[in-house]
Structures are given as structure tokens and as C-alpha cells.
Amino acid sequence: MAIKVIIDTDIGEDIDDILVTAFALQSPEFEVMGITTVDGDTQARSRIARRVTAAFGKPGVPVAAGYVGSMPRGGREIAPGVAVTQGEVAPDETGLPPASELWADELIARAAAEHPGEVYVVTIGSMTNVGQALVRFPEAREKLRGVVTNGGAFGRGETQIGWNLRYDPVAAAVVACSGVEWVLLPENAMRFAGLREQEVARLQEAGLPTTDLLAEAIRLWRQNKPDATKWPHLSDLNVFAYLMGGWLEVEHGRAIVTIAPDRLAELAVEHDPAGPHLLGGELAKERAGELKDLFMERILRPPAR
């Protein structure tokens, strides 16, 4: 059976979110139960996500906007001047499926209640939405199958807190202490799986509405994000690689998020056979190439209608 997932994302910021969301929608291994957007202009992120679901033949996937700021308050009001790099792919509601009437944490809790023990939340952005869901709807702690997170840098002799944990360390700590199965994967797991010139050219030349959308997102990312890398990366693909099985190795351990009074946060990772968390490793270069080939094969396929 397909694995039920909710994709919790800051889509529209870095390029990998839109690419791997498309991959999940194109993959028979996954049933995308919903997409929740987090951090900053979550309404603009919602429009981008709905443009993707419509383009890939899944307009019925609910997309719920989420919290614009970190816990404990979170906030739902968009700060003035907050923008997303790929916002021009969906600047308004024209032609888009309607947004979910639920808020992000409500969608997460409802999906967990309707499918107890089956739904994973994959967090490829700030962890605020899932943190709020576990606090506001504590019954979700017993209902979720697990949380799979791209966050942190660890496994090669150095441990650093990653961006997705750093943006909201309180939410990360809530998940770590919640009792929900938490799989923490290093941000560098996919460092050998970035797209190169030939893959970008294949997207640009494929001529599908789906690949045209992704090519336009790549162009806008390069144009509007000052620290964009030379070629698109697939860092967030690690969460789906783990769930597909056979790609990333994990071992039991403990991930500890500590927060100083000035809200600076640190991550400690302990490998322990009795630990409550699962800690992932890095994908070997040869296997990364195989995974990238699978990614391209699915992205270049016309979506089922």
C-alpha cells in the first residue's frame, strides 16, 4: 500500500521543496494526504503548492496554510515585505484549486485521526506546524505514524543544528519529546544528488506543462535568491528516500535540541541502540546517482490524469 504522507514545507523558498513535492506526487509509493505551508508568507506558499498539485494531476490534495512565525506564539499574520523566491509561478488565485479551509495544524491532526497509525508528516521546512499540532491537538501524538525531518548536519565528526530546526527550535524540541517516532535525517544526506546542467536542460526541453513549471521555478530561484547554488539541489529528497526504503540507513539514537535564553539553539546527536529517535546517514555517491536517475525518470513522465 502507498505510504500516506503530509508534506510540511516552506515551498517557494529554496528550490528543492518544489522539486521533491513534484516527485512525491509522481511516485506510486506515496499517497499525499495534504500539503501544509510554513514560515513567512504561507499564503503565497499555498498558491505555489496548489499550482503544483494541479499541474501534476492531483488538484484534490488539500493544501493548508500554516504558521508564519515560530513557537510558542506562532502567529498567522504575514509580516509586511515577506516574499518567496518563486512566487511568480502562482501570483494570485487564478486557475488554482481552492485552499483548504483548515489551518495547517488542524489538517495534520484530522488526517491522523482519520487514518490512525498510518500518516507520516515529512517536514522540509521549519517545524512550527507539526509542533503546534502536537500541542494544540495532543491526541495526534498517539495517532501519527511518525515525523520524518530534514534537519541538522551530523554523521561526519561534526554536529550542527540545521536550518529547519534552527528556524523553530521550540517546535523541534516539542517533536523530540513528544513520543512520536521521529526520524532525523542530515541535510547533507543528498549532497551527491544535485541536478546538473544536463538534467536542467532535459527539464527545459521536455515540453510538458509540469516540466515547464519546474523549469520556471528554477529560473526564478536563480534570479531571486542571492545565495542560490550553481545548480539545483535535492536536499529534501532525503525524507522520501528514507520512506521508500533501501536508500538511507538509520540507527537508533537521541536527538537533543537545547535552547539558550537568547533563543540560540544547539543540536546534540547520540547514537544509542535504546534511543527513542532514528538518525539517518548519508547516501553514497553511486546510490545518489541512481536516486537522481529515478527522480528524473518520474519528473519527466506525463502525470496520470
Alpha carbon distances (Å) from 107 to 21, 52, 66: 18, 19, 10
Give the Å distances, CA to CA, from 245 to 146, 242, 277. Answer: 15, 5, 17
pLDDT at residue number 264 = 84
Burial profile 25-60: b = 16 or more Cβ within 10 angstroms, e = fewer: bbbeebbbbbbbbbbbbbebbbbbbbbbbbbbebee
Q: What is the pLDDT along the chain (305 residues), one digit of tens a residue?
A: 999 999 999 999 999 999 999 999 999 999 999 999 999 999 999 999 999 999 999 999 999 999 999 998 778 887 655 679 999 999 999 999 999 999 999 999 999 999 999 999 999 999 999 999 999 999 999 999 999 999 988 876 778 899 899 999 999 999 999 999 999 999 989 999 999 999 999 999 999 999 999 999 999 999 999 999 999 999 999 999 999 999 999 999 999 999 988 778 999 999 999 999 999 999 999 999 999 999 999 999 999 87
State pLDDT tens for residues 269-284: 999 999 999 999 999 9
| pLDDT attached to residue 153 | 85
* Domains by residue range for the chain, with CATH: 3-299 (3.90.245.10)
Q: Round to whole Å and give the CA distance between 186 and 154.
A: 6
Residue 154 is predicted with a pLDDT of: 87
Q: What is the pLDDT of residue 72?
A: 87
Residues 148-200: tens digit of each pLDDT: 999 988 876 778 899 899 999 999 999 999 999 999 999 989 999 999 999 99
Instruction: Give me the pLDDT at residue 261, please.
Output: 81
Q: How far is CA 170 from the centre of its chain?
A: 18
